[in-house]
Amino acid sequence: MKGRIGMKICINPGHTLRGVGSGAVGIKNESEENRKVASEIIRLLKESGYEVIESRVDSANSNEEYLNKCVKIANGAKADLFVSIHFNSYNKSASGVEALVYEKNNEASKLAGRICESISELGFKNRGVKIRPELYVIRKTTMSAILIECCFIDSSSDMNMYEYRSMARAIVKGITGKSLEADNVSNEKLYRVCVGSYKEKDNANKRLEDVKNKGYKDSFIYIDI
């Protein structure tokens, strides 16, 4: 399988954003980085002419509910390919990229191998493709499915190399078979905009909803402790 124009690709930023079902926290926060990489992948794929669906679930009452919602979005959209974005975490020393699939020697596993190879070209160790049929999102989706562990969120060597835009470009290259030039702003500073700070959680949630309704879908609440 090589991404063909016209195929429908579902991109899943792994885990919820906060609370139940959220990802690992190491040198960086996995849930936040999943969304950065996924959003950039979606942008690049759309600009390249692909139809893209996002299976994003920011909150859930249980991990089972989160997984169910992710799969329901992908299956309901009748996507041709499901790609879930994650980061590994282990012992602060393990490093590298790996991709998880349902079975070996099928189209998804071949594509997963190309994605790993593409990411390894950034300098990350290639841990290869692993068979993980027990994983819910690659077992329950009705299309070819890949779960990418981009690198290790608790590894200083990986995090020193990691930059979300270059990671996204490498994944898109693996999917499409085409290299993408870096944006002119890829090495420039980015200035984040904060719209307010609130003592009451309900007020924060209301402002977040207001901002998302205005089209800023990647907005999230950061808790300053």
Give the tens place of pLDDT for each residue, 42-73.
Answer: 999 999 999 999 999 999 999 999 999 999 99
Give the pLDDT score at 105: 82
Asked if residue 196 and residue 105 are part of one domain, the reply reads no
* Phi, psi (rounded to 5 degrees) for 193: -110, 125
Give the pLDDT score at 208: 78
Indicate the average pLDDT of the chain. Answer: 89
Percent of residues, the chain, with pLDDT higher than 70: 85
Asked if residue 217 and residue 150 are part of one domain, the reply reads no
Asked if residue 31 and residue 128 are part of one domain, the reply reads yes
The residue ranking higher by pLDDT, 76 or 184, is 76
Give the tens place of pLDDT for each residue, 203-218.
Answer: 778 887 776 777 665 6
- If 0-12 CB within 10 Å is exposed, 13-18 middle and 19+ buried, where does residue 18 land? middle
182 inside domain: no
Asked if residue 216 and residue 134 are part of one domain, the reply reads no
The residue ranking higher by pLDDT, 21 or 105, is 21
- Distance from C-alpha of 114 to C-alpha of 70, rounded to nearest angstrom: 24
- Distance from C-alpha of 84 to C-alpha of 98, rounded to nearest angstrom: 12
The number of distinct structural domains making up the chain is 2
Domain that holds residue 50: 8-176
**What CATH number does the domain containing 35 carry?**
3.40.630.40
38 pLDDT more than 50: yes
Q: How confident is the model at residue 187 (pLDDT cuts 50, 70, 90)?
A: very low
pTM of the model: 0.79
Asked if residue 70 and residue 154 are part of one domain, the reply reads yes
22 CA to centre of own chain: 13
Percent of residues, the chain, with pLDDT higher than 90: 74
46 inside domain: yes
Contact 156, 27 (CB under 8 A): yes
Asked if residue 158 and residue 112 are part of one domain, the reply reads yes
3 inside domain: no
